[in-house]
Each structure stands twice: as structure tokens, then as C-alpha cells.
């Protein structure tokens, strides 16, 4: 009788934060994402993981998702593999089974796991015990898969992001943190305008400073956006945040409207990870206007997920 081969002792390639990758690796993943898009539904042979037909991605969601859930599912299928999608309440995780046990068990069944979690520590704890890659499908601290797609989208519209200027106006949240990681690794300038109460986490800013990142932080949206190649924002109230009224009051002056967009370069693009709330963080005339690339950005989640999965499964 043949038993399932025990997991390999080679360290898995986790994808938890862009800060954990060196610039060359992140560049390679973004280039792979461009190549995946160019190849359409059939990924190029040199970017297709070995034995992918037998590989399974396990997806677990502690928070809602449209883009991340569907794009990972479709990406894995287009690569030739399969997926299992669960909400946390469907699993023993929701009843407090230790993360270390969950990591060891899922490592015996699947070939990678992707989770959207309430607490970033869930990802790091799983990764400490898993023998398969752990992918961050959004935590309260970061959203690295999103920013691979965002960098790719920038480059489709405006060419190489290295040396460009990206402006963020709004909450210094999980998406902003992954932008800070990407700017530092890919060497572009990132100007963030946030109300001081909602600045990015100090640890992320200190990391970027220590790594030589070109990150500027201000409370003045006009100053951040002046001359930028790209303006980005995100919802004022992220999943799991309770203080909606206070946040809306603080973030009002950071709304991206046509007047603010006029301060950027004439051919600047507008990006938003979605879901968006028109009339709050962005005016409908901007997100539905000619400078917006939000639906390319959403589509690019699919191509980026294929690149991330390929890398996690050993390509590149
Ligand atoms: N941008 C993003 O992650 O969207 P979902 O919450 O729909 O996955
Ligand atoms: N900052 C948002 C991103 C959603 C994709 C949130 O965490 O809810």
C-alpha cells in the first residue's frame, strides 16, 4: 500500500508581507503577473508549477470577499489546480482549534493555503507550523496580493513604477501598509496624506525608513497629490472597524474628488482596491471617470494571483 508522501522539509514560500521579499523577488512576481495576463487563460509553460494538476489551494475566510475569493479560485483553476473554499465558521478554527494543529493538518491535505484573517498573528502562527505556503488574502495589517495587482496595473498604464510617484489620500490602513512595503522594495516614491490619528502603523514607517524607502507622510492631501503619477485611496471604514462616524469625520478632507485629481499630473491614474463608497472616499466622477483604472486593477487581481501561486508553488 502506498501512503501519501510526507511533506517535504524544504521551507515553504509563504506570501504574508511584501516586506519579507527582496526587491528582485517582488519584481519577478510582478513580471510573472504581466506574463500571465499576456498568456490569457492558459498560463505559459515556464510559469506553470510542476504537477499543478494534482495541487489544491485551501482558502479560508474570516471576513467577506468578492475579488480575492473569486480571483484566487479562478487563478488556481486556470493554472490547472483545484481549490477548496471555506468560511472560518465552517471549520474547527471557529471553535478554537489551535492554529498549530490546523496548520499541520491542512499541510497534509493541500499544497497551499490562502486566508483572509481578523488578526495578522493568525497568518504568522500558521506559517510557523505549516509545511505548505501560507498566503495573506488580507489581514488588519496588510494586503500584499492587492499591491502586486496594483503595481502591475500602474505599469500597464504608465510604464515601470520604479522612480514614479504614487500618492495615497485617506486612512493609513492595511492597503497603505502594503503600498509602503512595495515602494520600499521597488524603489518608487510614495506620498501618504492621512489624518494624524489614522497614520500608518509606526512599525511599518520605521521599517521603511530603515530599509531606505522613499516614503513621505503628511496630513495635507493637496501636498501629497501634487505632481503624482497615480492617486490611490481606500474605504474610510475597513472590515472589522467600529468607529465609523469618527473615521468619516476625520477622513472627509482626504476624499479624492476632481479638484484633488487636478493637482496630480494631467495623465495621472486613479486606483482603488474596491469595494468603493462613492461620495465618501472618492467622488463618482473620479472613480467612474477617464483617469480611473479600477476595473483593470480588479481584473489584474486574477493575473497577480496566478503569479503569486506559481511563485509559492516553486516557480521563479
Ligand atoms: N480588493 C479586495 O480585496 O476585494 P475583496 O474584499 O472583494 O476581496
Ligand atoms: N481596507 C479594506 C480593504 C478591503 C479590500 C478593508 O480591510 O476592509
Task: Specify whether 273 is catalytic.
Answer: yes
- C-alpha to C-alpha distance for 116 and 70, rounded to whole angstroms: 13
- C-alpha to C-alpha distance for 30 and 56, rounded to whole angstroms: 23
Q: By the 8 A CB rule, do 174 and 117 touch?
A: no
Please tell me the predicted confidence (pLDDT) of residue 258: 98
Residue-wise burial string across 259-293, b where 16 or more C-beta atoms lie within 10 A, e elsewhere? ebbebbbeebbbbbbbebeeebbbbeebbeeebbb
Q: How much of the chain, in percent, has pLDDT values that exceed 70? A: 97
CA of 144 to the centre of ligand 1 (A): 12
Q: Which of 17, 111, 229, 234 is catalytic?
A: 234
Which ligand 2 atom sits closest to the C-alpha of 241? 8
State the pTM of this model. 0.96
Using a 6 Å cutoff on CB, does residue 174 contact ligand 1? no
Alpha-carbon torsion angle 95, 97, 103, 105, nearest 10: -100
Please tell me the predicted confidence (pLDDT) of residue 7: 53
CA of 132 to the centre of ligand 2 (A): 26
Q: Is the per-residue pLDDT at 5 higher than 80?
A: no
Task: Specify whether 27 is catalytic.
Answer: no
Q: pLDDT tens digits, residue range 131-171?
A: 999 999 999 999 999 999 999 999 999 999 999 999 999 99
Q: Which of 145, 301, 305, 312 is catalytic?
A: 301
Q: Is the per-residue pLDDT at 294 higher than 80?
A: yes
Residue spans of alpha helices (H) in the chain: 23-39, 67-79, 99-109, 120-129, 144-158, 174-186, 202-210, 221-225, 244-251, 258-261, 284-287, 294-312
Cα angle value 27/33/38 (rounded, 5°): 130
Q: What is the mean pLDDT of residues 165-194?
A: 98
Which ligand 1 atom sits closest to the C-alpha of 298? 1
Task: Specify whether 272 is catalytic.
Answer: no
Q: By the 8 A CB rule, do 273 and 2 touch?
A: no
Confidence grade of residue 84 (pLDDT, cut at 50, 70, 90): very high
Task: Specify whether 191 is catalytic.
Answer: no
- C-alpha to C-alpha distance for 242 and 246, rounded to whole angstroms: 9
Task: Specify whether 34 is catalytic.
Answer: no
The residue to which cell 522612480 is assigned: 163
Q: Is 211 exposed, middle or buried (0-12, 13-18, 19+ CB in 10 A)?
A: middle
Instruction: Tell me the HSE value of 266 on the side-chain side, using a 13 A CA sphere.
Output: 0
Please tell me the predicted confidence (pLDDT) of residue 52: 97
Q: Which residues pair with 231 in a beta bridge?
A: 167, 270
Please tell me the predicted confidence (pLDDT) of residue 9: 63
Amino acid at each position: 500500500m502506498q501512503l501519501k508522501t510526507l511533506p517535504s522539509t524544504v521551507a515553504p514560500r509563504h506570501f504574508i508581507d511584501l516586506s519579507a521579499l527582496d526587491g528582485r523577488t517582488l519584481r519577478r512576481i510582478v513580471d510573472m503577473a504581466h506574463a500571465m495576463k499576456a498568456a490569457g487563460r492558459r498560463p505559459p509553460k515556464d510559469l506553470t508549477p510542476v504537477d499543478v494538476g494534482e495541487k489544491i489551494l485551501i482558502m479560508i475566510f474570516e471576513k467577506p470577499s468578492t475579488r480575492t475569493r473569486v480571483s484566487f479560485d479562478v487563478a488556481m483553476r486556470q493554472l490547472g489546480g483545484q481549490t477548496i473554499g471555506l468560511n472560518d465558521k465552517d471549520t474547527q478554527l471557529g471553535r478554537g482549534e489551535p492554529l498549530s494543529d490546523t496548520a499541520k493538518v491542512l499541510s497534509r491535505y493541500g499544497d497551499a493555503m490562502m486566508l483572509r484573517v481578523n488578526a495578522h498573528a493568525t497568518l504568522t502562527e500558521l506559517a510557523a507550523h505549516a509545511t505548505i505556503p501560507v498566503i495573506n488574502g488580507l489581514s488588519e495589517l496588510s494586503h500584499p496580493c492587492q499591491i502586486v495587482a496594483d503595481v502591475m496595473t500602474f505599469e500597464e498604464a504608465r510604464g515601470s513604477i520604479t522612480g514614479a510617484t504614487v500618492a495615497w489620500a485617506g486612512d493609513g490602513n492595511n492597503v497603505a501598509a502594503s503600498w509602503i512595503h512595495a515602494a520600499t522594495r521597488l524603489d518608487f516614491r510614495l506620498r501618504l496624506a492621512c489624518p494624524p490619528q489614522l497614520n500608518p502603523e509606526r512599525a511599518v514607517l520605521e521599517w521603511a525608513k530603515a530599509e531606505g524607502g522613499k516614503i513621505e507622510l503628511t496630513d495635507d492631501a493637496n501636498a501629497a497629490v501634487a505632481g503624482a503619477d497615480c492617486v490611490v485611496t481606500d474605504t474610510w471604514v475597513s472590515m472589522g472597524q467600529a468607529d465609523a462616524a469618527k473615521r468619516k469625520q476625520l477622513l472627509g478632507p482626504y476624499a479624492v474628488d476632481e479638484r484633488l485629481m487636478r493637482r496630480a499630473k494631467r495623465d495621472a491614474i486613479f486606483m482603488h482596491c474596491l469595494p468603493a463608497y462613492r461620495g465618501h472616499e472618492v467622488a463618482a466622477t473620479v472613480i467612474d471617470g477617464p483617469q480611473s483604472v479600477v476595473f483593470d486593477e480588479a481584473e489584474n487581481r486574477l493575473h497577480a494571483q496566478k503569479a503569486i501561486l506559481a511563485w509559492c508553488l516553486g516557480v521563479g
